[in-house]
Amino acid sequence: MTFLPNIPQAADDPAVSQGQILTNFQQLETVFDVDHVPYTIGVGAGAGYHDRVVFNSVAAPPALGPRSTLHTALIAGFAELFFQNGNNVDKQLTGLTIVTVGTNYGVTTPWGLVLNWGVCNANGVGIVNTFAIPFPTNCLAVVATGGNAAQPTNVIKVTTVLPASFVGRAPSGEAGFYIAIGK
């Protein structure tokens, strides 16, 4: 069956074009049923609503001018989701790169926030702990916790915070974990 875009015409005999109109409706339903709850299920069951959205991978993002779009692109063999704003700037939404430096990790989000986390060290004088990704502007917060079960009351205090590091202090030597957020 093929969709017939010029049916019906003013001079068509309904007895002849009725089959062609039926074919067109069947073709439309076939197309609209892709990624949608089929209309044939009935009213009240979500008929016509999306049940998923599938994007074709493209070699290059589409230049669409003032509109915003979602599209996929193959990155290292995997289809990743991108948002393109009205200025044709792509932001990768999935499969973000996690930077690893020793036992520290970091990721930069599409909206510019940077998250760092990992293992930190502290002592009475203070130990400098370096982030996997330095914060371009500033670090907004660092939270650290002791990881020594033998000294459960030993708390890591975060003192000096810089874009690339923070200082951890604890009454005695302590290894723990931290998470930091900034922009």
For 33-85, write each residue's pLDDT tens digit. 777 777 665 555 667 677 767 666 666 766 655 667 787 888 888 888 888 87
Q: With 90 as the cut, is the pLDDT of residue 87 above it?
A: no
Phi then psi dihedrals of residue 38, to 5 deg: -60, 145
Which has the closest alpha carbon to 109: 183, 53, 168? 183
pLDDT of residue 11: 87
pLDDT band at 168; cut points 50, 70, 90: very high
* Fold assignment, 99-182: Immunoglobulin-like (2.60.40)
Strands 127-130 and 165-169: antiparallel
pLDDT band at 13; cut points 50, 70, 90: confident
Structure tokens at 52: 């998923």
Provide the residue ranges of all domains of the chain, joining segments of one domain with +: 1-54, 55-95, 99-182
pLDDT of residue 1: 65
Q: With 80 as the cut, is the pLDDT of residue 25 above it?
A: yes
pTM for the full predicted model: 0.66
For 42-54, write each residue's pLDDT tens digit. 555 667 677 767 6
